[in-house]
Structure 1
């Protein structure tokens, strides 16, 4: 594939693609997408239109690596009628809840290192699919389980 060929359909639009369409910086797109309010309303609208036009959708896995949170909880009900609320990101919110939430701690540093290891191959061949990588989470038992 030459550098003039369009990108393969397997590649999702990026913030850079949205920025190019909207005529703004990637940082401005990021601020709008993440709801940071210090962007002119007219520019916000241009960015939203560019997001819609490109079909750009948030990458939840990447966002979880940046924020170190998944924003997910689970309600676990056993056959015996026991109920447990479990968080998946071992955030400080889990400690602030009463009872404190049992959580699953994801190995974020290991995940980030693996992403950094895989990135050069993805840049070299954008449409190439990487082999799945399985990370071992840690169960952090607290009062909710």
Structure 2
């Protein structure tokens, strides 16, 4: 339009400018941008700070010609309705994005399924994706072993099933369950029950077995339990079953905050006050814990840090195809609020 002022296009930041800010050579900046693993970690951090300060964005098309990589990795989430209401998965995406965005790597979020498996394998083998992160697979899922056996770059959330050799990142599930047991017993609770996650999930198994073993060590051998599926609705149904069979329970460990969110109103409707009559402990320390009534005492797993580590581990596998399989296990912490 006549008289309209048009801002000139913003000049792209160059590698030379980043190098000048970082006080290193252009070649060093290039090695950091292209994720060459031999760069010293302190230098890598200095260059990354300069990248953030200058707003540099890699030319992905040019870089792909040099590295022969797509510059994209897949984040495969379980194909379940609950992912849209479970804050866990949003935390995973947030943690992963914090690593890939500064590097100019695209994160392709997809849902698991048989057709997804076929496309994912094809994209990895044909170079349209550089690697994949698999979140919350179950014992019958063929995808982890399929990718591992093909020696494609892949990292798993949680420990693998059986003896599958695949890099993975997890929290010490049993240690987290022990923290819950010690807290409940420390409050004097002895008629304690637990709601597990789905027992096709290794994390759910580890939390259940870890909790019951810890309670036995603390002198409480009989711990009733029932199974949920990590959703709020399943937590409510499980609490109803437990109360029908054990109306005098005085402690409850729930294997996810979202299930605890469903269980608390059931306790209230049954006339059981929390925490006066029943102490309730969850697992995750998600946003669900804060909206519970009362706010939920819970085991915290550092989901964002774990997701970031999964990305870093995957990128290292992409950079070094022959690197050995490895695992990173984070320590849980305990967050005391008003429910226990």
TM bracket (short chain): 0.3 to 0.5
TM-score by length of 2: 0.21
Q: Which has the larger radius of gyration?
A: 2
Which of 1 and 2 has higher RCO (CA within 8 Å, sep 6+)? Answer: 1
Specify which structure has the higher proportion of helix.
2
